[in-house]
Amino acid sequence: MTTKEKSWKEISPAGVCWKSSTQFFTGDWKTYTPIRDPEKCTRCLLCVLFCPDGAIHWQKEKGDIEFDLNFCKGCGICANECPTKAIEMKMV
Amino acid sequence: MKSVVKQEVLALNGDEAVAYAAKQSDVDVVAAYPITPQTIIVEKFSEYVANGEVETEFVCTESEHSALTACLAAAVTGARTFTASASAGLALMHEMLFVTSGCRAPVVMAIANRALSAPLNIHGDQSDTMVERDSGWIQIYAESVQEVYDSMIQAFRIGENLEVLLPVIVGLDGFTLSHSLENVNVLPDDVAKKFVGIRQLPNVLTHEGKTLPFKLDPENPMSMGPVAFPNYYTEFKRQQEEAMKNALKIIPQVHEEYAQISGRHYGDGLLDAYCLDDAEIATVCLGSTAGTVKTVVDELRAEGVKAGLLRIRTFRPLPMEGIIKALENVKAVAVMDKSMSFGGQGGPVFHEVRHVLYDVLAHPYVVNYIYGLGGRDTSLEQIREIYGDLQKILQTKRVEEPIRYVGLRE
């Protein structure tokens, strides 16, 4: 989650938006979060190609991939496609 | 302690009383669509508009769905709004009822309670508002035309209270109240206007991080009622429940303040108990039927029968504690329903009263009477028979049939 979720006593009535639409992320929709085991991952980058939201990036300087959880909707395609089963979808 | 003001007596039917109260309540916007038996309300109010007696913006819409949508839209700009409907008209508003309460827009709506089709029936029963009991609207049912007028004036104060901010339905039994002429005491215009006051707005936090009055304003934009995902929806619904709880406190306060200037009480504003203190048998009902029941209670009391009546004036929020207090020492209770819940094993009022009484250890026998559907008259004799049934239950200590129909031809 991008921000700490507020209690019913803290939010404005009637669903009045307490932050700008630019601060709401599609990643907030997800139920399952991809958790990667770096030991099993071979950096084949298939997940980068398959991700429908372009939410997995190759970080050249780190020589590793990174999930952008602001945009990951938790679909699990990466976990399904991973040839070494290095990605697990978990409720966090 | 305010003193009771001198009041004019007018001959008004229930619908006219609603329109008169709306006229005195300084309403900014009325959007409505005609439907029997509510039509007189809007007709009368449009006369006030045409005669320049009010400064209200009157919007003729193409349907009830649009009428309530227009009221909602006006209400969220901070305007005081009013509409009226009944039966199929209210049913067509169904979607917008939830949007209105969810947007916390304190629209006031009079409903001249009428049966739902099919078969087509224009006469009175409470099916139309009962199906909307979960829509987040406060529901007040009046017993007399006088109470219709009084409840309307109170409704704006209740709904607009900052601890409440909920829409309010004032229910008046179709034809029995909507079209019956009664002598009605009306407050002087200035007293009514002062009592209702100017609508106040709470401050809310907006997306720009500003704290601003809760209204749509191009200078200070905010979004109301946009999408809330599973991670927030429950929190907003919980807020509405809290508002209903607050209404349980605010309704008696407004009712008491009104009583001090008008001299008229309806119980505590939530429940109206009649001869219940030492009652062994009692009925529970809503609306105008209570008048008939009171006559029967008087007759029975004269015969030495310990009979009583509990009229639920405020059905939403349901005054749970008050109902327990009123009925915990009664031995047998007949709950009267002027609507049905098909397959639900009894009418909605029965469900709720029996549910409330579950918490009473030695709870009374509770039976249900479905009556008055589609405008069928309920006689003194039929009410007497209900009390007779309750006496029989006490004698035999057995409930043969928990759900019964008044005057049904077998």
Q: Could you tell me the domains of chain B?
A: 8-201+229-262 (3.40.50.970), 271-405 (3.40.50.920)
| Any domain includes A46 | yes
Residue with the two structure tokens 């005057």: B407
Q: Which residue in A1, A11, A17 has the most chain B C-beta atoms within 10 A of its own C-beta, making it the best mutation to test that interface?
A: A17
Helix (H) / strand (E) element for B322: namely: helix B320-327
Average pLDDT over residues B353-360: 96
Nearest Cα to Cα of residue B375 among B128, B134, B168: B128
pLDDT of B280 > 80? The answer is yes
| Any domain includes A5 | no
Instruction: Give the model's pLDDT for residue B206.
Output: 85
Which pTM was predicted?
0.91
Beta pairing partners, B33: none
Tens of pLDDT along B104-138? 999 999 999 999 999 999 999 999 999 999 999 99
Q: Is the CB of residue A29 less than 8 Å from the CB of residue B256?
A: no
Chain A positions in Cβ-Cβ contact with residue B207 (cut-off 8 Å)? 17-21, 23
As for the ipTM of the complex, it is 0.86
Chain A residue with the nearest C-alpha to that of B162: A13
Q: Is the CB of residue B371 less than 8 Å from the CB of residue B336?
A: yes
| Any domain includes A65 | yes
Asked if B210 is an interface residue toward chain A (Cβ–Cβ < 8 A), one would say no
Instruction: Give the model's pLDDT for residue B209.
Output: 83
d(CA B131, CA B65): 16
- The DSSP letter of residue B87 is H
Average pLDDT over residues B149-172: 98
Instruction: Give the model's pLDDT for residue B1.
Output: 52
Token pair, residue B279, equals 């009652």
Q: Is the CB of residue B138 less than 8 Å from the CB of residue B159?
A: yes
Asked if B239 is an interface residue toward chain A (Cβ–Cβ < 8 A), one would say yes
Q: How high does pLDDT run on average in chain B?
A: 97
Q: How confident is the model at residue A3 (pLDDT cuts 50, 70, 90)?
A: low
pLDDT of A1 > 60? The answer is no
Total domains present in chain A: 1
| Closest-CA distance of chain B to residue A76, Å | 19
Please enumerate in sequence order all residues whose Cβ is within 8 A of that of B297, keeping only pairs 6 or more positions apart, or say none.
B274, B275, B307, B308, B309
Q: Is the CB of residue B392 less than 8 Å from the CB of residue B357?
A: no
> What one-letter code names the amino acid at B96?
M
Nearest Cα to Cα of residue B316 among B96, B84, B134, B68: B134
Q: How far is CA B36 from CA B12, B117, B177, B378, in A?
A: 17, 13, 13, 21
Average pLDDT over residues B203-231: 88
Chain B positions in Cβ-Cβ contact with residue A8 (cut-off 8 Å)? 234-236, 238-239, 242
| Any domain includes A78 | yes
Collapse the DSSP code of B230 into the 3-class scheme (helix H, G, I; strand E, B; otherwise coil) and give the result: coil
Q: Is B174 exposed, middle or buried (0-12, 13-18, 19+ CB in 10 A)?
A: buried
Tens of pLDDT along B164-175? 999 999 999 999
Please tell me the least confidently modeled range out of A13-27, B282-296, B314-328, B382-396: A13-27
Nearest Cα to Cα of residue B77 among B227, B236, B225, B213: B213
Average pLDDT over residues A41-54: 97
Average pLDDT over residues B299-324: 98
List, as one string, the DSSP characters of B254-304.
Answer: HHHHHHHHH----TTSSEEEES-TT-SEEEEE-TTHHHHHHHHHHHHHHTT
| Any domain includes A84 | yes
Residue with the two structure tokens 């509510």: B38
d(CA B348, CA B323): 15
Its domain, for residue A62, covers: 30-90
Q: How confident is the model at residue B224 (pLDDT cuts 50, 70, 90)?
A: confident
CATH, residue A76? 3.30.70.20
| Any domain includes A18 | no
pLDDT of B57 > 90? The answer is yes
Q: Which residue in B203, B224, B229 has the most chain A C-beta atoms within 10 A of its own C-beta, making it the best mutation to test that interface?
A: B224
| Any domain includes A22 | no
* Crossing angle of helices B14-24 and B39-50, rounded to 10°: 40
**From A6, A14, A29, residue closest to B224, measured CB to CB:** A14
Tell me what percent of the residues of chain B surpass a pLDDT of 70.
100
Helix (H) / strand (E) element for B17: namely: helix B14-24
